[in-house]
Structure 1
Amino acid sequence: RAQFIDEVAAGDGAGPAAAAAQVDAAIDRWVYYAGWSDKIAQIAGSANPVAGPYFNFSVPEPTGVVAVLAPQHSPLLGLVSVLAPVIVTGNTAVVVASQRLPLPAVTLTEVLATSDLPGGVVNLLTGRTAELAPVLAAHADVNAIDLCGADPHLAAGYETAAADNLKRVLRAPHQPQDWTHQPDPHRILAFTETKTVWHPTGM
């Protein structure tokens, strides 16, 4: 915790108290999204009435590999806020760290590497977002992309590249986001797909 506080304070220019508040909020954000892991199917899924001798269920399932362009101005809380909803449903993430302030993201991956998270679930890239984003947007093995940290002037080009391989896109926000606000499950659902199963009930 102390290392994260030091890195956030050094990068954002925040005082120790403000940096500590951001780190605590990031921890709470992990807890919030982890709590959805066994509830999202009940919220987003359904048992569907059908005219026939069948059970019909719709359940959310992970999209697959999700590219995440982390927010540029919130290197820890913003990063956690876009990463946690991607992996909570079973997706894997390729994360482009904040170009301005990458150090908290690097430290976070060190924490994840020694946690119970399976290897390969979170993969971090550091570098220029404008160079890495087009490759991820056009990559056929990436199933979705979160453009949160994209340059607004370049985001339309990334969307066009993603459309070529039918990639799911979560668009960049028009206004800077306040990551201290209470999150909601809609960001989780942005990276799920609905599978509907028909099962005969018997004679």
Structure 2
Amino acid sequence: MSTVDRLSVLKTYKLFVGGKFPRSESGRVYEVTDAKGAWLANAPLSSRKDARDAVVAARKAFGPWSGATAYNRGQILYRVAEMLEGRREQFAAEVVAADGVSAKKAAARVDAAIDRWVWYAGWSDKVAQVAGAANPVAGPYFNLSTPEPTGVVAVLAPTDSAFLGLVSVIAPAIVTGNTVVVVASERAPLPALSLGEVLATSDLPGGVVNILSGRAAELGPPLAAHQDVNAIDLAGVAGELAVELERAAADNLKRVLRPQPGDTAKGDDWLADPGTERMLSLLETKTVWHPMGV
């Protein structure tokens, strides 16, 4: 059979929940197109039930992941970077289609995303020195403050940087021991769904990262109102939807990360130095008093 007679083997994209690849509970899909409007694939259209299932998986994974040593978490993040390095061409092609940039710019964004995994991996056993302290107090006591993960974090991923922006919000959340439920860019979810395939075959425990595709307006409200979600990152939403999600989160005292002006105006903004702000924003501080000489 000649190559022109071959049938195309189209890829079936699925959700990534609890380390597995389920279809949407509702059975719905929606069409994903490239920046020029050409059809790319059908992606799962997640339902509220899918969002709840993802939170259950994230909560189950939180204990073991937050209890792992910082060194171990750093090694796992570095392993993800190693695996992405071997699939650079695939992700570069997906970024070209998703972000509508040249092949050269797409390759630069993929390289930056891989470097970002490495950068955050290096912070895993150092963040305690930055966020923790030995506090001077009056009296015969040691007073020590140490950072702890917030818990389950819902992430509305950036819509304008489908891969680099995605990595830039996932990595700082999980490196310190949080687990995440990610709502991928509705317009360009394929890089996120492909990232799930990498995470599934890395050393990352199932449930630490859960990736949903679909409508932020449909999935955001149940995640913001969910009592078992401890924080929500609104990197990919703005306007009335962001206000609505903030209000829903306030009802159960969730921590809310709102994008600053300019954060999501251009995909290139994600190329900037990430700094430690997003990572430190998803930490709690535990303070312990201990008598001296005991």
- Normalising by structure 2, report the TM-score: 0.67
1:100-157: CA deviation from partner (whole Å, max 9, x where unpaired)? 1000000111101111111110011110011101111110000000001013221111
Equivalence for 1:194: 285
SS at match of 1:194: strand
Query: Do residues 41 (structure 1) and 128 (structure 2) align?
Result: yes
> Hey, what's the Cα distance between the residues in 1 that align with 2:270 and 2:149?
24
Aligned pair count reads 203
Q: List runs of 5+ in structure 2 lacking aligned partners.
A: 1-87
Normalized per residue, the structure richer in helix is: 2
Query: Do residues 123 (structure 1) and 214 (structure 2) align?
Result: no
Question: Any conservation in 2 of the 1:152–1:172 contact (CA below 8 Å)?
Answer: no
SS at match of 1:199: strand
SS at match of 1:104: helix
**Structure 1 runs, 4 residues or longer, greater than 4 Å off:** none
> Hey, what's the Cα distance between the residues in 2 that align with 1:105 and 1:25?
16
> Hey, what's the Cα distance between the residues in 1 that align with 2:238 and 2:131?
31
Which of 157, 161, 166 is the aligned partner of 1:79?
166
CA drift of 1:202 comes to 2.7
SS at match of 1:153: helix
Structure with the greater alpha carbon radius of gyration: 2
Equivalence for 1:179: 270
Pairwise mapping of residues 15-54 of structure 1 onto structure 2 (< 5 A)?
A: 15-54=102-141
Question: Any conservation in 2 of the 1:58–1:194 contact (CA below 8 Å)?
Answer: yes
> Hey, what's the Cα distance between the residues in 2 that align with 1:32 and 1:41?
16
Equivalence for 2:246: 159
> Hey, what's the Cα distance between the residues in 2 that align with 1:101 and 1:173?
22
Query: Do residues 14 (structure 1) and 101 (structure 2) align?
Result: yes
> Hey, what's the Cα distance between the residues in 2 that align with 1:136 and 1:161?
9
Q: List runs of 5+ in structure 1 lacking aligned partners.
A: none
SS at match of 1:136: helix
Q: What is the root-mean-square deviation of aligned Cα atoms in Å?
A: 1.1
